[in-house]
Chain A
């Protein structure tokens, strides 16, 4: 084995010294040559920061992935000689993944969306920790999001985001959405459900799908859908009553400080109201309201929060609204009748006077 390896090194060093055309012929390096080194399980590198980079790659690494027919140098195209003298650059997926490519990659502009996003902008500013394509999609075992074991599939993507966003992932996992996802229920949102896929922005950026004024819209995508909510016995009414409330109206007109869904229900730590840790558990409501309205009492938390004056189960509010509605209609009709009677009497009076 070792002899073959040495022979190969000698052969390729020689090839490097050969004039142009002969070198070109050797440029398409076959898998077997790469695995001469990379095929050893112990092939790894100790980085200056103490991390270990696994460099073990075999013929099976691409198997089953969308790139299984690709050769190493299709992506690592800067490797033209073996062993490569310089460390190969990170793979640029944009080599094939752009709209109009002829390589057979999906025709999509996702890469442009990524460059606009918070992640792409961080990369552009030179942040070495910001993710590139392969940080989320994986390197060799890339699969379409619809494939169950893809790193960006419905059930795995939160874990993938959580590799960097650890605290948020921990919160999410204990939230109702995270718990349900872990139970294999695909209706609940994972990270992209609210934040988007490639077009991810900071929540303080007005372009973000979770910008203060857009949160209720984002939650309503599911929480106003009877088809989805009926599966879990959740009322769709709050989505509509919020829109009609003081908070909802102010939010629709662009207020960023007014309460949206997550101001009261939580962000990544949303829990059902009967959970004692829930922000909207009756026990916690005074404190939750008190974030903006200091002094909200325990008394305030009594009763229903999302009230629709047009529905009978709102009790006294419904009856008051109904009373006023008919009072207004009745007054209007009575006044109109009065006007007509008055005019009729008036003409009689005028006739009498003449």
Chain B
């Protein structure tokens, strides 16, 4: 954190590498969603227009697979970075879901319906961020497995009866839909529509949030930075 940042009350929340990974993820997920749902809902006129735009159903598949491979590369890079680098290891520690997050989640529910007096205090990542992170990670791995099974259909046909591939197709489509629903109703709310950030939490572009926002939304992280003398 530079002096200028501190003077203007800014705190770094996402380093450049994470911002790049996030941006790549955003673009690839959009490409995968557009190409995937246009096939899943091929009876829809808009889906048909999109498939035509992509150059037909064959090219749609190629675009979808290129995006999928890039996404998996992005995820693999992220995984290695989280496990091996100094910054990654620190972030990883912050992201591990513990007993406390479940308690925080339940307490926030109780608070929201008026049954508890105190709203839980969050560290750098609260239960919202952690659930989103792990949901997306596990979902990506699972959807990659079914995606590979369908892609390498000749290999799959050697090993499995047809119903396994039918199953993979059903699971792949619904996993995509589920991921989309979660992004739409959870992530979009948390980083765009939530009153504390509306219209947008700027950290995915600038990497920074205001110290005041951090104090309100992630007070434990704020305290920690203060103790470390970074604020």
Is B157 touching A293 in the complex (CB atoms < 8 A)?
A: yes
Which of A294, A297, A303 makes the CB contact (< 8 A) with B163? A303
* Known interface pairs A296-B158, A304-B163; A328-B51 also in contact (CB < 8 Å): no
B39 on interface, CB distance cutoff 8 Å: yes
Q: Mark B183-197, 1 if CB is under 8 A from A, else 0.
A: 001100100011110
Is B57 touching A295 in the complex (CB atoms < 8 A)?
A: no
Is A343 touching B195 in the complex (CB atoms < 8 A)?
A: yes
Contacts of A324 on B, CB cut-off 8 Å? Answer: 170-171, 174-175, 177-178
* Known interface pairs A249-B57, A254-B56, A317-B163; A344-B185 also in contact (CB < 8 Å): no
Is B154 touching A293 in the complex (CB atoms < 8 A)?
A: yes
* Known interface pairs A249-B39, A253-B57; A339-B185 also in contact (CB < 8 Å): yes
A45 on interface, CB distance cutoff 8 Å: no
Chain A residue with minimal CB distance to B135?
A331
Chain B residue with minimal CB distance to A302?
B161
Which of B155, B160, B166 makes the CB contact (< 8 A) with A309? B166
* Known interface pairs A295-B158, A342-B112; A335-B186 also in contact (CB < 8 Å): yes
Q: Mark A322-341, 1 if CB is under 8 A from B, else 0.
A: 00110110011001101101
* Known interface pairs A297-B159, A339-B189; A328-B181 also in contact (CB < 8 Å): yes
Contacts of B169 on A, CB cut-off 8 Å? Answer: 246
How far, in angstroms, from A254 to B48 measured CA to CA in the complex? 12
User: Whole-angstrom distance from the CB of B53 to the nearest CB of chain A?
Assistant: 12
Contacts of B113 on A, CB cut-off 8 Å? Answer: 341, 344-345
Chain B residue with minimal CB distance to A251?
B57
How far, in angstroms, from A341 to B194 measured CA to CA in the complex? 12
Is B160 touching A328 in the complex (CB atoms < 8 A)?
A: no
Chain A residue with minimal CB distance to B61?
A250
**Interface magnitude class on chain A:** 35 or more
Contacts of A253 on B, CB cut-off 8 Å? Answer: 42, 48, 51, 56-57
* Known interface pairs A255-B57, A297-B157; A336-B162 also in contact (CB < 8 Å): no
Q: Mark A236-266, 1 if CB is under 8 A from B, else 0.
A: 0000000000100110111100000000000
Is B109 touching A341 in the complex (CB atoms < 8 A)?
A: yes
Chain A residue with minimal CB distance to B112?
A345
B145 on interface, CB distance cutoff 8 Å: no
How far, in angstroms, from A90 to B130 measured CA to CA in the complex? 87
Q: Mark B114-155, 1 if CB is under 8 A from A, else 0.
A: 100001000000000000000000000000000000000111
Which of B56, B162, B175 makes the CB contact (< 8 A) with A300? B162
Within 8 A of B (CB), among A284-333: 289, 293-297, 299-305, 307, 309, 314-317, 320-321, 324-325, 327-328, 331-332
Q: Which of B48, B170, B178, B189 has the most CB of A within 10 A?
A: B170
B167 on interface, CB distance cutoff 8 Å: yes
Q: Mark A209-247, 1 if CB is under 8 A from B, else 0.
A: 000000000000000000000000000000000000010
Contacts of A328 on B, CB cut-off 8 Å? Answer: 174, 177-178, 181
B108 on interface, CB distance cutoff 8 Å: yes
Is A295 touching B161 in the complex (CB atoms < 8 A)?
A: no
Contacts of B42 on A, CB cut-off 8 Å? Answer: 249, 252-253
Within 8 A of B (CB), among A168-217: none
16 more A-B contacts (CB under 8 A) besides A253-B42, A317-B166? Answer: A253-B51, A255-B56, A293-B153, A295-B154, A295-B157, A296-B157, A297-B157, A300-B157, A307-B166, A309-B170, A317-B163, A317-B167, A324-B175, A342-B108, A345-B111, A346-B196
Binding site for A on B (CB under 8 A): 39, 42, 48, 51, 56-58, 108-109, 111-114, 119, 153-155, 157-163, 166-167, 169-171, 174-175, 177-178, 181-182, 185-186, 189, 193-196
The 9 closest A-B pairs by CB, nearest first: A345-B112, A324-B174, A335-B185, A253-B57, A341-B112, A302-B161, A296-B157, A295-B158, A300-B157
Query: Could you list 9 examples of A-B contacts with CB < 8 Å?
Result: A295-B154, A309-B166, A314-B166, A316-B167, A331-B178, A331-B182, A335-B186, A339-B193, A348-B114
